[in-house]
Amino acid sequence: MVYGLRYYFRHIGKEDRAISLPSIKEEFHLPVILNRSELKKLFVASKHLKHRVVLALVYSAGLRSREVRNLQISDIDFERRTIHIRQSKYKKDRIVPLSVYIAHGLKKYIKQDNPETWLFYGNIKNNAYSRNGITWIMRQALRKTQINKKVSIHSLRHSYATHLLEDGVNIVTVKELLGHGDISTTMIYLHVANCSFLNVKSPFDTLYPTQCNDLILSEIY
């Protein structure tokens, strides 16, 4: 209602009325990510090689849905092991590393499906995947797993960023790999990653004098 009134007041020339309306605080939600075990289950869920490669590639390079849909075969450099992402968000190009494992899967997929221009094509050959097509691949794979988290294709990008930070990659490098325009966007993953908490023990684990054993467990549970 507030947004509608603001638009209306500006439309009729009453900018002061639009400004005087109350501000709306956006809700802050941390991104939902998949852990490494869940990712392994997801990547083998589909029976189609192309679908498995699509999901694995999105995670392996932290790609947006639009970026993976716009990839052409010529954007993959197997010798240098790089992926050239062209004119993505903010109209910027960037280069990201190509995983050795993904390179193997891509070669197998290209040999099998023989794409011509686009790396991944939709229902009509030589036509790029639609946004709904990529979403469908993710949804179908999730249905075949025991994953109950509310995740989407973009969650693979969230997982990529979080796991890079947990593996010790500095946040500036993660920003460049993701193609973020501002470091503050990347910093949200610091709230999800376990970087600073990996060596911290829960006080419950230090409550008992000895290491967790069957006797202690039987007393509690």
Whichever domain contains 81, its CATH number is 1.10.443.10
The verdict on whether 189 is a catalytic residue reads: yes
Residue 5 has pLDDT above 90, yes or no: no
CA–CA gap between residue 145 and residue 140 (Å, rounded): 9
Enclosing domain of residue 21: 1-28
Q: Name the one residue in this structure whose structure tokens are 């376990």.
A: 194
Q: Which tops the pLDDT comparison, 199 or 204?
A: 204
Catalytic residue among 50, 51, 64, 163: 64
Q: Do 120 and 19 have their domain in common?
A: no
Task: Say yes or no to pLDDT of 19 above 70.
Answer: yes
Mean pLDDT of the chain: 88
Count of domains forming the chain: 2
Residue 86 bears catalytic tag:
no
Is the distance from CB of 149 to CB of 32 less than 8 angstroms? yes
Give the chain's radius of gyration (CA, Å): 22
Same domain, 19 and 69: no
Verify whether residue 7 is a known catalytic residue: no
| CB neighbourhood size of 146 (10 A) | 7
pLDDT at 219: 67
64 in active site:
yes
Q: What is the pLDDT of residue 191?
A: 83
Query: Which of the following is catalytic: 6, 41, 86, 154?
Result: 154
Catalytic residue (choose from 50, 157, 158, 175): 157
Together in a domain, 146 and 191: yes
**Does residue 109 sit in the same domain as residue 20?**
no
Q: What is the pTM of this model?
A: 0.79
In which region does residue 40 sit, left (phi positive, over 0), alpha (psi from -120 to 50) or beta (all else)? alpha
Tens of pLDDT, residues 24-79:
777 778 899 999 999 999 999 999 999 999 999 999 999 999 999 999 999 999 99
Determine, yes or no, domain membership for 218.
no
List 14, 40, 66, 89, catalytic entry: 89
| Cross-strand bridge partners of residue 56 | none
Burial level of 55, CB count in 10 A (0-12/13-18/19+)?
A: buried
Bridge partners (DSSP) of residue 83 are 76, 96
* Residues 136, 46 within the same domain: yes
